[in-house]
Structure 1
Amino acid sequence: MTTTVLPALEPQAPPPAEEAAPPSGRRPGAPGTPAPPPPARPGLALTGFALCVLAALLIGFAANLTVVGHLQHSRDQQTAYADLREQLALGTAPVGQRTYDDKPLAMGAPVALLRVPSLKLREVVAEGTTSGVLMSGPGHRRDTPLPGQAGTSVIMGRQWGYGSPFLSIGKLPRGAEIELTTGQGKAVYEVVGVRRPGDRLPAALGQGQGRLTLMTATGGPYTPSGVLRVDARLKTPVQPNPPRYVRSGWIAPSEEALSGERGAWLAVFLWSQGLLLAALLVVWAHRAWGRWQAWITGVPVLAALGIATAGAATRLLPNLL
């Protein structure tokens, strides 16, 4: 019997281990495999945050000095007119630096109704001339007598912002009438001239005479460069002057012409903190929810906080702006 000897088999190397397949069963890079999300880049998030804050502030400033500011002025004027009308009817309208019950007159309290027929202007005049008071309309300088009384009464108003009540007073011709109604009655003034920076001062008043000076800014839109004054002499009989507790010059620097209100810094700080927090949340929502969801929910909040922050910051700007 013939014995067949089989050749010895050489040991074979074990096959290479298969790479771990992804849970989907596809190899990385195989066709149809979704690409992994790109890593988050802190630079883009920081840029988006800065753009959110900047856009909200720019929109806020533009709105406050135009549409929103004019709407605020109109609302405040309606409220002040209703208050002054009621006080005149009840005989409690202020006639000096104190109220009818002998309390100091509050800043922003209505004191007179101003009418300029040739300009079709009707504005309620409030007590005080800070930037915040002049957002609601013209303001009476506290260290001067009220209209209709002996001496020079000074009323300031904005040129462009917040209703721009005194935008056209520089066009008043000589002889135009200005009417003011206070708790003492109606006083009528006649314009005697318009003064710009460098013009001569009017002659000093005699005993028992009255004068009105309207003040606003000169220069281009929202770029005040000086003070424009309209002088008018009192035509109606002079009304009695109550005792004055705030003498000439006894006012804060923020009540002078073209001054800002330094006390507004606290409001600016608080509103800006809210704006920064809202911008951070919008950037987070953009990554967590998606672009459109973040903007739909975030834009109204950012716009409201931007308007509030810019409104507080506007009080730091010149009061005749």
Structure 2
Amino acid sequence: MTAPVLEKPAAPAPGVPEPAGPAGRPAVTPGRRWFLQAAWAVSLLAALVLGFVGFLFTLSDIQERHYQSTAHKTFRDQLARAVAPTGSAPDGEPVALLDIPAIGLHQAVVVEGTTGRDLMRGPGHRRDTALPGQSGVAVVFGRGATFGAPFAELSKLRVGDRIETTTGQGTASYTVNAYGDGDAPITDPAPDRLVLVTGDSDWIPGSTVMIGARLDGDPQQNPGGRPATVPYDKALAADKGALATLQLWSLGLLGAVVAALLLARYWRRSTAYLSLAPVVGAALWAVYENAAALLPNLY
């Protein structure tokens, strides 16, 4: 008996739908597959960008408040034990308390340094200037939009408004008397004064706003010996040193995501994702923080 001859299925006529794939789904053509992959990549990129914006205007404030709370306790303890710094200090260390009642700023901890990373912690003292209350000119930078935005309302200060500071040498009071900006800096012959600096916009700033205030009463002794500034200390400077760290954390984030996807093939998917979610979240936070350091330091 001869074996039956199997006929080859005829190609579908024009206008007839393609054969269905598994579970009745249409077969995915190469063009459709490329479109879906591109749409997924664009959606992921959009989610990362929106997440970064959310970090800048929401989570960064939480991070700054946490540091301010911890630093305030530390600095108060240093003041009580008379060991608060009166000269140069390590980057990011608390060096003063700042009160500006006219704009609602109370007991803000001023840290040493004005790089982008320093100003993530709060207002920053420019390392080559006097501390508030000392003889000479003290300069303090502050962000105007992100990481708590301590100087967001700085331009609302008026002549005669008071500024109070506290350092390891005691309290000092200043009276606002001058204004300036990046094109026309403050020129004041008074030897003992305070200059507050922030960006000129709550978007990406292109210049600076400066508020000058004269010291009321006699200054405290200035021990001198201030270190020189670095390029990242300047107003509106980006902390380009964060670029290498950003690249490393980006690789770490990619590795964590790949690990979660691979683990999901051998475990229950929900278990795999939940177990690595804290790792992915921590890596993503570090990526956003280092990306923020590449923005102007007064932003």
d(CA) in 2 for partners of 1:291, 1:44:
26
d(CA) in 2 for partners of 1:294, 1:55:
25
Structure 1 residues 125, 285: closer, same or farther in 2, change over 3 A? same
Give the TM-score normalised by structure 1.
0.77
Instruction: Report what 1:255 is aligned to.
Output: 233
Instruction: Report what 1:195 is aligned to.
Output: 180
Secondary structure of 1:144's counterpart equals coil
Instruction: Report what 2:221 is aligned to.
Output: 240
Structure 1 residues 35, 210: closer, same or farther in 2, change over 3 A? same
Indicate which of 110, 129, 138 corresponds to 2:94: 110
d(CA) in 2 for partners of 1:85, 1:289:
50
Instruction: Please state if 1:176 is matched with 2:161.
Output: yes
Q: CA RMSD in A?
A: 3.4
d(CA) in 1 for partners of 2:75, 2:130:
18
Instruction: Please state if 1:87 is matched with 2:78.
Output: yes
Instruction: Please state if 1:213 is matched with 2:195.
Output: yes
Instruction: Report what 1:312 is aligned to.
Output: 290
d(CA) in 2 for partners of 1:74, 1:315:
17
The one-letter code matched in structure 2 to 1:58 is V
Structure 1 residues 201, 256: closer, same or farther in 2, change over 3 A? same
Structure 1: unaligned runs, 5 residues or longer = 1-12, 20-32, 98-104
The 8 Å contact of residues 263 and 272 in structure 2, kept in 1 or not, is answered as: yes
The one-letter code matched in structure 1 to 2:197 is M
The 8 Å contact of residues 178 and 186 in structure 2, kept in 1 or not, is answered as: no
d(CA) in 2 for partners of 1:320, 1:156:
7
Instruction: Please state if 1:155 is matched with 2:140.
Output: yes
The 8 Å contact of residues 69 and 162 in structure 1, kept in 2 or not, is answered as: yes
The 8 Å contact of residues 134 and 221 in structure 2, kept in 1 or not, is answered as: yes
* RCO comparison, higher one (Cα < 8 Å, 6+): 1
How far is 1:280 from its partner?
A: 4.0
Question: Which stretch shifts more, 120-129 or 53-62?
Answer: 53-62
**Max Rg structure:** 1
Q: How many residues align?
A: 285
Give the TM-score normalised by structure 2.
0.83
The 8 Å contact of residues 144 and 151 in structure 2, kept in 1 or not, is answered as: yes
Structure 1 residues 86, 200: closer, same or farther in 2, change over 3 A? closer
How far is 1:165 from its partner?
A: 0.4
How far is 1:245 from its partner?
A: 3.8
Instruction: Please state if 1:66 is matched with 2:57.
Output: yes
How far is 1:302 from its partner?
A: 5.0
